[in-house]
Amino acid sequence: MFNALLGRWLGIGEWKPDLLLIALVYLGMTSGATPAILVGFIVGLYQDLYAAELLGRHALAKVWVGFLVGSVAGKIQIEQAYIQASMLFSACLLHEIILLVAMGGGVTGVFKAIWLRAVPTALYTTLAGMILSVILRDWLLPKGWGRREPSRPRRVR
C-alpha cells in the first residue's frame, strides 16, 4: 500500500521505485541478515496480500534479498556511496528477477522482461534510494557511519 500510494507520483510509466525494498536493503546493510530476513518476510507477505497475485512471490524475493544483503554487508566496507548504490542495484535486480521467474512466461519471456522491466526498475529504484539516502542520511544510517571524525591536533610536549 505504501508503494501504491507513492508509486502514483514517483512512477514513470510502468517503472516504479520499490520504497520498501530500499528500506529493506538499508536495514540489511546496517543490521545484518536476521532482521532483514524477518522484515523482508513480513513486508513481502503484506505486499502479496495487497497485490492479490501469486501468494508468496514478494515474500520469497524479499527474504532472499534481505538474506544476501545482510550476509554481504558484514564482509565489505559499505560506507561509500558507490558501494551502497551497487548493493542497492544488485538487490533490486535480484528482486525483480525472482518476481519474473515466479510469474513464469517461458525463458524468452523472462529474458525480454529482464531487459524491458527489471533493469530499468532497478536503475530507477537505485536512483530513488540514493536520493533518499542523501536526504535521510542521519535517520537511515547509524551515527558517524561513513563520515570521518575531525582529527584533533596533537599536543607537543
Least confident of 12-16, 66-70, 81-85, 130-134: 12-16
Residue with cell 514478494: 58
Asked if 91 and 69 touch (Cβ cutoff 8 Å), the reply is yes
Which residue has cell 515474500?
A: 59
Higher pLDDT pick, 154 / 72: 72
**What was the pLDDT predicted at 83?**
85
* Global confidence as pTM: 0.76
| CA distance linking residue 1 with residue 137, whole number of Å | 24
pLDDT in tens, 13-58: 677 788 889 989 988 988 888 999 999 999 999 888 887 677 888 8
Q: Where are the domains of the chain?
A: 18-137
Write the single-letter amino acid at 99: L
Q: Count of CB atoms within 10 A of residue 82's CB?
A: 8
What tens digit of pLDDT does each residue of 103-125 get? 776 777 778 888 888 898 899 89
Pick from 99-108, 122-131, 144-153: least confident: 144-153
**End-to-end CA separation in angstroms for the chain:** 64
> In whole angstroms, what is the distance from residue 69 CA to residue 88 CA?
9
Q: Give me 35's grid cell.
A: 532482521
**Arithmetic mean of pLDDT over the chain:** 80
Query: What local confidence, expressed as pLDDT, does residue 80 receive?
Result: 79
